[in-house]
Structure 1
């Protein structure tokens, strides 16, 4: 018995999402389990299928229904905790 793996690009293609989305999910602790082998990311097919199974829904209008992607709060490019520097402040 051999375990089949998909890399980030293959999984992104399977789900029709950006590879960057998978990177963000890993950083946030969302999405399917993954392996990091010699600096490369791999997803076991059994973990992918388990994650897909968890995302199955029967009703879309119910409060219990969720989207097919993990519930990740919207992350803007500039989180509010990050101070923005619009211009230089000049000491008086």
Structure 2
């Protein structure tokens, strides 16, 4: 089974994060792992669905401010 690759617009449709938010996270190095398919400033970006899910799991906070186990 292959891991689905999503464009920023597909990530927005499935998870609600806008392409601009994803770009800001890439710039800051704080968002989910991504793949840059073409070089340069305007390079095509894709996200593995598993990377989005893992990032969400890592950033889930339980009540009281503790990370979920």
Aligned counterparts of 1:65 and 1:13: Cα–Cα separation in 2: 28
Aligned counterparts of 2:55 and 2:62: Cα–Cα separation in 1: 16
Structure 2 residue runs without a partner (length 5+):
none
Cα RMSD (Å): 1.7
Q: Deviations over 1:29-53 (max 9, x none)?
A: 1110000002210001111110111
Relative contact order (C-alpha < 8 Å, sep 6+): which is higher? 2
TM-score, length of structure 2 as denominator length: 0.77
Structure 1 or 2: larger helix share? Answer: 2
Aligned counterparts of 2:51 and 2:17: Cα–Cα separation in 1: 18
User: Secondary structure at the residue paired with 2:52?
Assistant: helix
